[in-house]
Structure 1
Amino acid sequence: MTDWLATLREQAKVGEEMAEEVSRMLSNPDISLQQASRLYNALEQQAQFTEKLARVLEESGHDFTVVEAAEALEELFNELAASAAGKVKQLQQ
């Protein structure tokens, strides 16, 4: 049986590392619109995946701590996608 809490905690660590890298990428003055758009698309896909995962875990009756961990991961990717979307808008102007 999958230890979802351990898996989600591991993914949260990866997500935090990604957050640092995304921040560096978005603050780079040489980032192109195409690069920012690709980054946004990748982050948005991950946010959608983690949203679905959280719902499936909740509907499957997993413990609240597991669902909460999945929702925290979802929130992280939503925030990262929103940051990238903001950069895309900025570069389009």
Structure 2
Amino acid sequence: MTDWLEILKEQTEAGARMGKEVPKMLSDPEISAEQVGSLFHALEEQAQFVEKLTKILEKYGYDFDIIKAAETLEERYVDLAAEAAEKLRAMRG
């Protein structure tokens, strides 16, 4: 059986790391548009994965606090992806 709570925990830890790393990466003057684009796509994929995870947690009747934690994580990835998209737009002029 899949341990959805463990997956959420791992994703939350990864999201916390990304919350610290992404701004540093985007502020690096040496970062290329290709790297920013790749980062954007990776963040979008993570947001979509967590969205699916949230739906699974809802389906299996997990507590509101757990669902809320998953939704907050999804929002974090969406926000980080938006930051990457802004940087990419600025780089492409």
Per-residue deviation, 1:26: 0.2
Per-residue deviation, 1:10: 4.1
Per-residue deviation, 1:17: 1.4
- 2:24 maps to which residue? 24
1:31-61 per-residue CA deviation (whole Å, 9 max, x = no partner) reads 1110000000000000011011111211221
Could you state the TM-score of these two structures normalised by the residue count of structure 2?
0.87
- Give the number of equivalent residue pairs: 92
- 1:75 maps to which residue? 75
Could you state the TM-score of these two structures normalised by the residue count of structure 1?
0.87
CA contact (8 A) 2:50 2:74 kept: yes
Distance of 2:13 and 2:50 partners within structure 1: 14
1:1-93 → structure 2 map (5 Å cutoff): 2=3, 4=5, 7-93=7-93
Matched residue type, 1:45: E
Per-residue deviation, 1:9: 3.6
Per-residue deviation, 1:85: 0.7
Listed as ranges, the gaps of 5+ residues in structure 2 are none
> What's the RMSD between the two structures over aligned residues?
1.6
Listed as ranges, the gaps of 5+ residues in structure 1 are none
Matched residue type, 2:90: Q
Distance of 1:70 and 1:11 partners within structure 2: 9
